Amino acid sequence: MKVLVSDSISPKGIEILKKAGLEVDVKTGLKPEELKKEISKYNALIVRSATKVTSDIISAAENLKVIGRAGSGLDNVDKDAATKRGIVVMNTPGGNTITTAEHTIALLVSMARQIPQATASMKAGRWEKKKFMGVELYNKTLGIIGFGNIGTHVARMAHGIGMNVIAYDPFLNEERAKNLGVKVVELDELIKKSDFITIHTPLTKETKGLINAGRIAQMKEGVRLINSARGGIIDEKALYDALKSGRVAAAALDVFEKEPPEGSPLFELDNVVCTPHLGAASEEAQENVAIAVAEQIVDYLVYGTIRNAVNFPCVSADVLPKLQPYINLAERMGSFLSQSFDGGINEIIVEYRGEVAELKLEPITIAVLKSILTPILEETVNFVNAPFIARERGIEVKEITSADAGDYHSMLTVKIMAGNKENSVTGILQGKQHPRIIRVDNFAIELVPEGEMLVLSNIDKPGVIGNIGTLLGKNNINIARMQFGREKPGGRAISVVSIDTPMSDEILSEIKKLPNVLSVKQIHLPI
């Protein structure tokens, strides 16, 4: 078995691979065309963040079985393309937690006391004591956006400094936050009340441009921002304007929309502290993730055991074929539900009926958890840590089994509970292979859960579908399928429209304004 290491990792990781009898080639700095030419020779590929494993690379990887990321972020790997080819994608979540949290605090303190600017001034031969007046952190409010492992550790350290901590996380419930001395708030409240704001979410469709001109306008005058998560979460043009005007007093950035950020106007500003994506750059962290990814590659190639995979469950290779159709169904149901649901989650219930109830259920339940958490926590959720992340956020998980599946061989129902609010989907396998959703909440409806979908809640009156079709046609958006369900004639109804291309926010806003449309969500599922 041959392993290609295309980004630099600790020698300890290389040593583990070789001791297991694997043939290892270290070829860093390959251009895309060079990697495409080389990749067919290898059974495993190990990357960090520099190598871009695109669908073109994957299509040329005739013998590739596994891609291992030494780190947590997977925005440089086309996971859908890998999954279609049956290639396992693994990461090493948790290995960067401490070092990234510590770097965040370092940025926080450096920004508050203007340490980099004062250092540069002194090295230039100046003594500008009055110029670099700082601000105290004690008794200030730190707003943490994203309260996973890193955000939690940042909160602990901030408490040690004497800061008040508030947090926004779509899955964080108040009881767990209270035990950590943190107040849970909605994003708008965090934006308005924080003296300092630090970001710890992945870059997803939902978080791209999360901090934009509109949100910055709602912030306190003189707020200070830290981003050591992912570039693109903060709109850099809006941030530049706010720093120039003084609305934002200072920013500390470890990540950028484009890396390296050549010629960024942010670097012209004295109130910007910046580092070249060093959040995970400690000797301990790099050694940890190199060892972890090497051990995972060995486990899979030598022993057939999958660990820390983001696209396959952690089971032995011989069990996987029986479970995979249900895992696929569960992931699509959970993702559909997550993208159509608003608010925190207290409880997730998975009901198994019929033949499926006799299988090993844990991987299927974990697939549900992973898919529900993934739209917000994309880069950090996998088949190993999904249950832990759910517990970490105080989400209770229940399984219910029954031999009776009615007219079907097997049936799955997934429910999300938040206080008195409940949302659910029910699914089956058509021909024991093809996933179908047959009920959404109280509406009987048969859906093919794939691709781009619009899910509308509307009043069952004439003209709703015609108006939607006209609006989509006007904007050159083709309709692939349309399905409907209703409680009763003239009552509440659900309309699901499958479209060939994603829809812009502007068109989505137009749909929301159509007569008798109560709400609309755009959902993306794998093809």
Residue range 416-446, pLDDT digits in tens:
988 778 889 999 999 878 999 999 998 999 9
Query: What's the first-to-final CA gap in the chain, in angstroms?
Result: 31
Judged on CB neighbours under 10 Å (0-12, 13-18, 19+), 136 is exposed
Q: How confident is the model at residue 390 (pLDDT cuts 50, 70, 90)?
A: confident
Q: Are residues 329 and 291 in the same domain?
A: no
Number of domains in the chain: 4
Residue 259 annotated among the catalytic residues of the structure: yes
Q: Are residues 434 and 413 in the same domain?
A: yes
Instruction: Provide the token pair at 278.
Output: 């060093």
Q: How confident is the model at residue 344 (pLDDT cuts 50, 70, 90)?
A: confident
Q: Point out the domain boundary residue: 378, 413, 441.
A: 441
Q: Are residues 105 and 249 in the same domain?
A: yes
Q: Are residues 120 and 106 in the same domain?
A: yes
Q: Is 379 helix (H, G, I), strand (E, B) or coil?
A: helix
What does 96-128 look like in DSSP terms, one character per residue? THHHHHHHHHHHHHHHHHTHHHHHHHHHTT---
Q: Which of the residue ranges 145-149, 311-315, 470-474 would you say has the lowest mean pLDDT? A: 311-315
**If you average pLDDT over every residue of the chain, what do you get?**
90
Asked if 299 and 333 touch (Cβ cutoff 8 Å), the reply is no
Give the number of other CB atoms < 10 A from CB of residue 388.
14
Asked if 171 and 122 touch (Cβ cutoff 8 Å), the reply is no
Q: How confident is the model at residue 19 (pLDDT cuts 50, 70, 90)?
A: very high
Instruction: Supply angle C-alpha 146, 149, 154, rounded to 5.
Output: 75
Q: What is the CATH number of the domain that holds 320?
A: 3.30.1330.90
User: Rounded to whole angstroms, how far apart are CA atoms 384 and 306?
Assistant: 10
Q: Determine the average pLDDT of the residues in 455-481.
A: 90
Instruction: Provide the token pair at 357.
Output: 């109830």
Q: Which run of H or E residues covers position 507?
A: helix 505-512
User: Rounded to whole angstroms, how far apart are CA atoms 30 and 460?
Assistant: 57
Residue range 287-301, pLDDT digits in tens:
999 999 999 999 999
Is it true that the peptide bond before 260 is cis, omega within 30 degrees of 0? yes
User: Rounded to whole angstroms, how far apart are CA atoms 412 and 423?
Assistant: 14
Q: How confident is the model at residue 316 (pLDDT cuts 50, 70, 90)?
A: low
Q: Determine the average pLDDT of the residues in 336-365.
A: 87
Residue range 68-125, pLDDT digits in tens:
999 877 889 998 888 778 788 999 877 788 999 999 999 999 999 999 999 999 999 9
Prediction pTM value = 0.66
Q: Are residues 478 and 373 in the same domain?
A: no
The yes-or-no verdict on residue 333 having pLDDT over 80 is yes
Asked if 125 and 118 touch (Cβ cutoff 8 Å), the reply is no
User: Rounded to whole angstroms, how far apart are CA atoms 285 and 270?
Assistant: 31
Measured CA to CA in angstroms, residue 277 lies from 50, 227, 228, 258 at distances of: 12, 10, 7, 11
Q: How confident is the model at residue 7 (pLDDT cuts 50, 70, 90)?
A: very high
The yes-or-no verdict on residue 360 having pLDDT over 90 is no
Q: How confident is the model at residue 29 (pLDDT cuts 50, 70, 90)?
A: very high
Q: Are residues 327 and 252 in the same domain?
A: no
pLDDT given for residue 308 in this prediction: 82
Residue 434 annotated among the catalytic residues of the structure: no
User: Rounded to whole angstroms, how far apart are CA atoms 161 and 155?
Assistant: 10
The yes-or-no verdict on residue 466 having pLDDT over 60 is yes
Q: Are residues 368 and 410 in the same domain?
A: yes
User: Rounded to whole angstroms, how far apart are CA atoms 172 and 395?
Assistant: 8
Q: Is the dihedral of CA 210, 214, 218, 220 positive or negative?
A: positive
pLDDT given for residue 314 in this prediction: 63
Q: Point out the domain boundary residue: 274, 298, 333.
A: 274
Q: Looking at the chain, how many residues does it have?
A: 527
Q: Are residues 357 and 302 in the same domain?
A: no
The yes-or-no verdict on residue 380 having pLDDT over 90 is no
Residue range 301-310, pLDDT digits in tens:
998 888 888 8
Asked if 449 and 427 touch (Cβ cutoff 8 Å), the reply is yes
Asked if 169 and 200 touch (Cβ cutoff 8 Å), the reply is no
User: Rounded to whole angstroms, how far apart are CA atoms 359 and 353?
Assistant: 11
Nearest of 261, 233, 258, 280 to residue 48 by alpha carbon: 280
Q: Are residues 158 and 228 in the same domain?
A: yes
User: Rounded to whole angstroms, how far apart are CA atoms 446 and 423?
Assistant: 17
Q: What is the CATH number of the domain that holds 61?
A: 3.40.50.720
Q: Point out the domain boundary residue: 290, 312, 334.
A: 312
Residue 125: give the domain boundaries.
Answer: 97-274
Residue range 214-253, pLDDT digits in tens:
999 999 999 999 999 999 999 999 999 999 999 999 999 9
Q: Is the dihedral of CA 519, 522, 525, 527 positive or negative?
A: positive
Could you say which of 176, 277, 353, 436 is catalytic?
A: 277
Q: How confident is the model at residue 377 (pLDDT cuts 50, 70, 90)?
A: low
Q: How confident is the model at residue 263 (pLDDT cuts 50, 70, 90)?
A: confident
User: Rounded to whole angstroms, how far apart are CA atoms 78 and 69?
Assistant: 12
Give the number of other CB atoms < 10 A from CB of residue 171.
20
Could you say which of 69, 230, 247, 393 is catalytic?
A: 230
116 φ/ψ angles, rounded to the nearest 5 degrees: -65, -40
pLDDT given for residue 319 in this prediction: 65
The yes-or-no verdict on residue 378 having pLDDT over 60 is no
Residue 378 annotated among the catalytic residues of the structure: no
pLDDT given for residue 6 in this prediction: 96
Instruction: Provide the token pair at 146.
Output: 């994203």
| Residue 398, amino acid | K
Q: Is 479 helix (H, G, I), strand (E, B) or coil?
A: strand
Q: Are residues 488 and 500 in the same domain?
A: yes
Could you say which of 23, 34, 175, 259 is catalytic?
A: 259
What does 233-275 look like in DSSP terms, one character per residue? SB-HHHHHHHHHHTSEEEEEES--SSSS-TT-GGGG-TTEEE-
Q: Determine the average pLDDT of the residues in 365-390.
A: 76
Q: Are residues 25 and 38 in the same domain?
A: yes
Q: How confident is the model at residue 376 (pLDDT cuts 50, 70, 90)?
A: low
Q: Are residues 294 and 408 in the same domain?
A: no
pLDDT given for residue 18 in this prediction: 97
